[in-house]
């Protein structure tokens, strides 16, 4: 695995028909995992409002970590994502085939 390649990341199909895809607890767990990775990196802060929203929530939390954000506030980040894929295609070093497998912020 390498970081910084000029190749586009591999897009894998999303199994939106599975029950797991629609499981709210599973979604919150995955968002927390991805948000924690994004918070630790912060390379994408200038791409759109989703990232500053996430980082402000973290920075204003009691723990200064993702675990300090209320799950109900996750939607504030999601609402700022317009699915442009700039983070996925240009900035994120953790997209597949990376072992952390960040598919997107939202």
DSSP track, 42-103: -TTTTT-THHHHHHHHHHTSSSSSGGGS-GGGHHHHHTT-----HIIIII-TTSTTSTT---
pLDDT of amino acid 16: 87
pTM score, whole prediction? 0.83
- Per-residue pLDDT reduced to its tens digit, 22-70: 999 999 999 999 999 999 999 888 888 999 999 999 999 999 999 999 9
């Amino acid at each position: 695995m390498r970081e910084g390649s000029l190749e586009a990341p591999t897009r894998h199909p999303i199994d939106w028909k599975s029950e797991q895809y629609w499981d709210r607890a599973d979604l919150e767990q995955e968002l927390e995992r991805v948000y924690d990775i994004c918070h630790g990196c912060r390379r994408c802060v200038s791409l759109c409002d989703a990232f500053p929203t996430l980082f402000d929530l973290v920075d204003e939390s009691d723990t200064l970590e993702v675990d300090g954000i209320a799950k109900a506030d996750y939607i504030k980040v999601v609402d700022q994502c317009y699915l442009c894929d700039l983070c996925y295609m240009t900035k994120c070093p953790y997209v597949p085939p990376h072992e952390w497998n960040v598919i997107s912020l939202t």
